[in-house]
């Protein structure tokens, strides 16, 4: 026997060990493949139910959204119809009290005239509150329509001056109107613009004493077109950062002491903000406590959509 020839016993054992090792590896591979297969199956199953669950959840969310929208629509409809129903008898109260006032004046019944004026004042106030709620509901429902036409700014400001004179006098304020010379033609919704300016000016008169309330109007050519800027500034109590942050939210007033002292519902600015958007414009404010307030409203010289109707004719 050749001394260098490999020992067949040794070779056999080596071969056995390799075979056993390969078998082990194959068994391991098989068990890992099985695990992988099972994990994959589980993943597929989860994926299937996940899609199902996402679909179910989406359906639930859509149903909840639809319910909320429907509830909101019913609420708006209810508020709108209640406000509308309240206005009808109120109109009767206002017109009969006007008639009665004239008769009392003719008959020279001094004390009764005063009482009658108070009834009329209260009825007008009630009507204003109902109108505010109605406007707010319309804005919330996106149902406020734009009636655009050419606006005579001199007539509009003269009207505002007359309407606001008693409010300005009440707090001994001076009411100034400054209009640039080159104002040209503004085409927008006269009633809505007038309502915005009235809200801003009446606030300025309400929150200022022995001061000045100024409305200044300018036309501005900017990169994004022609704009009209309406600035209402006052020298009144001003507002702090907290008040400014929630200013255009509905029913938001400075604090409870302001509600007690000045009254109001806190809807005026929310409505002004909404109306300004309907006009295609925007409103900003600058104020500091004790330093007065400046509201700036800018609206486009022509309305955001085609509206051939004449505002002065349509809304008067």
Ligand X SMILES: Nc1ncnc2c1ncn2[C@@H]1O[C@H](COP(=O)(O)OP(=O)(O)OP(=O)(O)O)[C@@H](O)[C@H]1O
Near ligand X by CB under 6 A: residue from 139, 204, 283, 297 = 204
293-300: strand order across its sheet: 174-179, 212-222, 225-234, 293-300, 282-287
* Spatial contact of 153 and 186, defined as CB atoms under 8 Å apart: yes
> 132 or 186, CB closer to ligand X?
132
**Chain position whose Cβ is nearest to Mg ion:** 268
Binding range to ligand X, per CB under 6 A, among 45-53, 145-153, 199-207, 298-306: 199-207
Contact between 164 and ligand X by CB under 6 A: the answer reads: no
- For residue 43, what are its two tokens? 């993943």
Tokens describing residue 196: 């915005």
For the bound state, the minimum distance from the C-beta of residue 57 to ligand X, rounded and expressed in Å, comes to 39
Comparison of 148 and 269: residue with beta carbon closer to ligand X: 269
Shortest distance, position 253 Cβ to ligand X, whole Å: 3
Q: In b/e form, how buried is each residue of 135-173, taking b as 16+ CB within 10 angstroms? A: bbbbbbeeebebbbbebebeebbeebeeebeebbeebeb
Q: List the single partner that 188 binds among Mg ion, ligand X, none, CB under 5 to 8 Å by kind.
A: none
Binding mask 267-296 for ligand X (x = CB under 6 A): xxxx----------------------x---
Six token digits for residue 283:
């409103």
CB of 202 to ligand X, least distance (A): 7
Residue 126 binds which entry of Mg ion, ligand X, none, CB below 5-8 Å type-dependent: none
Going by C-alpha positions, the residue among 211, 262, 258, 254 that lies closest to residue 236 is 211
According to the binding rule CB under 6 A, does residue 258 interact with ligand X?
yes
Query: Please, which residue, 264 or 300, has the CB nearer to Mg ion?
Result: 264
Helix, strand, or coil (residue 44):
helix
Residue 137 in contact with ligand X, rule: CB under 6 A: no
**Between 194 and 203, whose beta carbon lies closer to Mg ion?**
203
Residue 114, token pair as written in the block: 């005063």
**DSSP symbol at 294:** E
CA-wise closest residue to 236 among 279, 202, 189, 272: 202
Q: Which does 253 bind (CB under 5 to 8 A by kind): ligand X, Mg ion, none?
A: ligand X
Residue 277 contacts which entry, Mg ion, ligand X, none (Cβ below 5-8 A, type-dependent): none
Shortest gap between Cβ of 145 and Mg ion (angstroms)?
A: 23
Q: How far does Cα 226 stand from its chain's mean position? A: 24
Q: Give the nearest distance from C-beta 254 to ligand X in angstroms.
A: 3
Positive/negative CA dihedral, 107, 111, 112, 113? positive
Q: What is the 3-state secondary structure (H, E, C) of 173-232?
A: CEEEEEECCCCCCEEECHHHHHHHHHHHHHHHHHCCCCCEEEEEEEEEEECCEEEEEEEE
Under the criterion CB under 6 A, does residue 168 sit at the interface with ligand X?
no
Among candidates 231, 261, 229, 266, which has minimal Cα distance to 248?
Answer: 266
Specify the stretch interacting with ligand X by CB under 6 A; choose among 63-71, 82-90, 136-144, 246-254. Answer: 246-254
- Residue choice 194, 203, 214, 233 for contact with Mg ion (CB under 5 A): 203
Q: Which residues bind ligand X (CB under 6 A)?
A: 132, 199, 203-204, 207, 234, 236-239, 243, 247, 252-254, 258, 264-270, 293
């Amino acid at each position: 026997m050749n001394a260098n020839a490999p020992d067949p016993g040794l070779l056999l054992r080596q071969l056995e060990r390799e075979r056993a090792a390969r078998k082990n590896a194959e068994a391991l591979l098989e068990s890992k493949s099985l695990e992988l297969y099972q994990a994959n199956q589980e993943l597929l199953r989860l994926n299937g139910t996940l899609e199902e669950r996402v679909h179910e959840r989406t359906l639930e969310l859509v149903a909840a959204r639809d319910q909320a929208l429907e509830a909101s629509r019913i609420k708006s409809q209810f508020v709108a119809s209640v406000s509308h129903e309240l206005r009808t008898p109120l109109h009767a109260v206002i017109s009969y009290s006007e008639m009665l006032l004239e008769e009392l004046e003719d008959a020279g019944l001094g004390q009764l005239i005063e009482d009658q004026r108070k009834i009329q004042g209260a009825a007008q106030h009630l009507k204003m509150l109902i109108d505010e709620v109605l406007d707010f509901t319309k804005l919330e429902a996106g149902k406020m329509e734009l009636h655009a036409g050419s606006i005579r700014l001199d007539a509009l400001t003269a009207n505002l001056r007359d309407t606001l004179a008693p409010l300005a006098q009440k707090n001994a304020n001076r009411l100034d109107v400054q209009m640039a010379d080159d104002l040209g033609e503004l085409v927008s919704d006269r009633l809505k613009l007038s309502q915005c300016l009235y809200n801003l000016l009446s606030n300025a008169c309400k929150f200022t004493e022995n001061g000045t309330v100024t409305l200044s109007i300018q036309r501005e050519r900017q990169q994004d077109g022609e704009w009209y800027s309406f600035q209402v500034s006052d020298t009144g109590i001003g507002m702090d950062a907290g008040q400014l942050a929630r200013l255009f939210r509905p029913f938001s007033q400075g604090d409870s002491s302001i509600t007690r002292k000045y009254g109001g519902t806190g809807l005026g600015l929310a409505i002004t903000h909404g109306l300004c958007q309907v006009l295609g414009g925007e409103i900003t404010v600058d104020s500091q406590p004790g330093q007065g307030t400046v509201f700036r409203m800018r609206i486009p010289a022509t309305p955001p959509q085609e509206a051939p109707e004449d505002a002065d004719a349509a809304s008067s």
